[in-house]
Amino acid sequence: MNLTKVLSFVFLLAAIALGYLLWKGVDDVVEAEKRIALVEGAIIEKLQMLRDAQLAYQASNGEYAGNWSDLRNFIQNGEIWLVQRTETTKLLEYGKEETTVSFDTLGSVPVMDSLFNKAKYPDFNLETLAVVPASGGKQFEFFADKIERNSYEINVFEIRDPDPMNPERRLNNKEKALRVGSRTDASTEGNWK
């Protein structure tokens, strides 16, 4: 073999090796993005369930749950009251109307059966609801307080992922971590929309 054939063979092997490394690098990034999207989808689903539980807790107790144990106890033992509202409008003289509103309590249903029934969430497990998926057992951070807006006290809550898997969500002291609610506004929306 002469030097040209040896060099051609070496460069061919180097080109194949570099091509494989390039493909593997791109494939790893794509797989990591798929894994992040899958985990964030599971986190969003849990945050939505926790938001529904917080809204039911607030409707029953007049404030949001500030920790997981209070919310878990409410989900296990709490009840949601079923109230029927009826309006009766009576026509008075000269086209005036008088409206009478009455409320009737029909009964109650357990929170577990109402919010987390088997038809809606067949694999629901209350013990793992507050655990962030793919986090090694870390729990969501809970916050509840009252803020003042236009001379009114408003209940607020925030539930957030303490350690985001997505590197973009870790920037600026985890400012963009997935969360539902807000510490400063009367919002129950999530930041993933």
Whole-number pLDDT of residue 1: 66
Counting every residue, how long is the chain?
A: 193
Q: In terms of DSSP bridges, do strands 79-91 and 179-181 run parallel, antiparallel, or are they unpaired?
A: unpaired
CA angle 20, 22, 25 (to 5 degrees): 105
Closest by CA to 160, choosing from 170, 150, 147, 151, is 170
pLDDT < 50 stretches in the chain: none
The pLDDT of residue 126 is: 85
Burial class of residue 176 in the structure, from the number of CB atoms within 10 Å of its CB (0-12 exposed, 13-18 middle, 19+ buried): middle
CA torsion sign, 136 to 141 to 186 to 108? positive
**pLDDT tens-digit series, residues 76-96:** 988 888 888 899 998 888 878
In contact, 98 and 89? CB cutoff 8 Å? yes
Q: What pLDDT was estimated at residue 54?
A: 92
pLDDT at 173: 67
